[in-house]
Amino acid sequence: MESRTGVKEPKRPLVWSSSHQKSTLFQSWFQFLLMLSMALFILVYTITDSSLSLWENVSLSQHFQRFFNQTHQVIKPAYRAYPRHRNSVNEITETTKSPTERPVGVQYHNTYPRNYHFIMDNPEACKDKTPFLVLMVPVEPKNVAARNAIRQTWGNESLVQGEVVVTLFMLGLSEGTDLEKIRQENLEHRDLILSDFRDTYLNLTIKTMVIMDWLTTRCSTAAYAMKVDSDLFLNIDNLVLMLQKPDIPKQNYLTGMLMWNRPVVRSKNSKWYVSEESYPEPVYPTYTLGMGYIFSNDLPEKFVEVSKSVKPFNIEDAYIGMCMKKLGLKPTSPPNPSQFRAYNTKYNRCEYSKIITYILGSSKELVDYWTDLKKPGPPC
C-alpha cells in the first residue's frame, strides 16, 4: 500500500501527456515543469522525515479507514440478533467472591473467567475420549433452534477424517431462562455448559473466557479447539483436513480470518463502541474474526492466566488478540485464507465443498445447505 500511494500519483499525468500525439512547445514546457515539480516533490519527500510521515498519516489512514469501514459493513449483520446494550462491562470491577480464590497482587476484573461458576459442565465429554478437536459454540439459552440445527449438521459428526471431534454449547444466564428446560435438553444431548454470568451481547468476552476456562480445566487433553458462532456453516471435514497438515503448529497456534489494523470504533451509537478508557489505542492488534477461530489447546490456559492483566473490553475476538499480544504471540494465517469466508451471497454446492466457514442467515439455511452438500454425487 505504501509504495502504491507513493508511486501512483505522480505517474498519472505522464501517461496522460504521452497519449497526445502532436507534442507542441507548450506541452514540452508543461512536461518540463511537471518533471521539475516531481523532482522537487521527491526531494522534499526523501529529505524531510516529517513530510514523509505526514504523507503517510494522511493518505494511508484514509485509505485504510475506507477499506475497514467497508469490511465492517460486510460483517455487521452477523451480530444483528443481539440487542444493543451499553454500560458497565468495560469497567474494572473488584469481585465479591471469596478472598481465598484471589491470587495476591493481581487485579481482578470481570473478564477473568474464574469469577464465574459452572452450573452445568459435562466434564465427562473429554474424559471418555481424547478429542482431536473441540468445537465450543457460544449460544443464548433461548436459542434451541440454533443448537438443534447444529446437532443435525456439523455438530453431529463425532468422527471426522478419522479424528474425534466433540461439539459443546456454552450458555450464560439470561432473564427468563427456564433452567429445568435446559437441564432436560442437557439430559438428552449431554452437550450444554452453563455458567453463572449474565448472557448478553456486551458480555461475550466473558463467555469466550469462560470457554477458555472450561477447556483448561475440563478438556486439557484435546489437541485443538475452535470458538465457533452458532450462525456458521462449518465445513468440518475441510477444517480437520487443514489441521492434519504436517506443518500446522501444535502449540501457540491461533488461526481463522485475520483482521489487521482494525480501528477501534469510538462512535457511541455503534454496537462495537469501545471507550478510550477501556481500550486507549486507536487500533486493535491483529486478531481472528469472532465468527470462528481455531487454536491449539495449550492456549486456553495461557489466555486465562494473561487475562488477569489484560483490561477487559466487550469485543471478544479483539480481546483474544490482545491476550495473544500480551503473550508475545501472533495469529497465523491459515494455509488457505480463502477458505474462511464471512458473508455468502448465494449457496453453491461446489463452493461450499471447498470452504471452511460461511456466516448464514438462519438455522434453516444451515440444515438445507448441509443436507444438499452431503447428498451423493460429486459437488463440482
Ligand X SMILES: *[C@@H]1O[C@H](CO)[C@@H](O)[C@H](O)[C@H]1NC(C)=O
List residues binding ligand X (CB under 6 A): 50, 53-54, 57, 62, 65-66, 69, 85, 87-89, 151-152, 156, 197-198, 200, 202-203, 206, 265, 267
Minimum CB separation of residue 27 from ligand X in Å reads: 36
Nearest approach in angstroms of CB 265 to ligand X is 5
**CB of 348 vs ligand X, minimal distance in Å:** 24
CA distance 314 to 271: 10
Rounded least distance, CB 1 to ligand X, Å: 15
Toward ligand X, which CB reaches closer, 200 or 332? 200
Smallest separation, CB 44 to ligand X (Å): 13
Which set of grid coordinates corresponds to residue 175? 432473564
Q: Where does 225-271 have alpha helices with state H?
A: 236-244
Three cell numbers written together for 238 = 475441510
Distance in Å, CB of 314 to ligand X, minimum: 8
Distance of CA 325 to the CA centre of its chain: 15
Closest to ligand X by CB, 72 or 325? 72
Q: Are 321 and 287 in contact (CB under 8 A)?
A: yes
Question: Cβ closer to ligand X: 197 or 293?
Answer: 197
Beta bridge partners of 194: 120, 171
Instruction: Please state, in angstroms and rounded to a whole number, the distance separating the CA atoms of residues 260 and 237.
Output: 27
- Residue identified by cell 448478553 is 200
Q: How far is the CB of 377 from ligand X (least distance, A)?
A: 19
For residue 101, the minimal CB distance to ligand X (Å) is 16
Place of cell 491476550: 323
Nearer to ligand X, 204 or 310 (CB): 204
Smallest gap, in angstroms, from Cβ of residue 161 to ligand X? 15
**CA gap 81, 246 in Å, rounded:** 39
- 40 to 13, 27, 47, 48: CA distances (angstroms): 16, 20, 11, 12
**Which lies closer to ligand X via its Cβ, residue 19 or residue 96?**
96
CB-nearer residue toward ligand X: 178 or 281: 281
Question: Any idea what the Cα angle at residue 292 is, between residues 80 and 189, rounded to 5°?
Answer: 90
SS3 content of the chain, % helix, strand, coil (to 5): 45, 15, 40
Nearer to ligand X, 147 or 302 (CB): 147
Beta-ladder partners of 169: 137, 192
What count of other Cβ atoms lies within 10 Å of the Cβ of residue 337? 12
Q: CA 292, CA 356: separation in Å to the nearest integer? A: 10
Q: Kindly tell me the burial class for residue 53, based on how many C-beta atoms sit within 10 Å of its own C-beta (0-12, 13-18, 19 or more).
A: exposed
Q: Which three cell numbers stand for residue 91?
A: 469497567
What distance separates the 2 farthest-apart alpha carbons in the chain? 90
Nearer to ligand X, 56 or 305 (CB): 56
φ, ψ (nearest 5 deg) of residue 193: -120, 130
Of 76 and 341, which has the nearer Cβ to ligand X?
A: 76
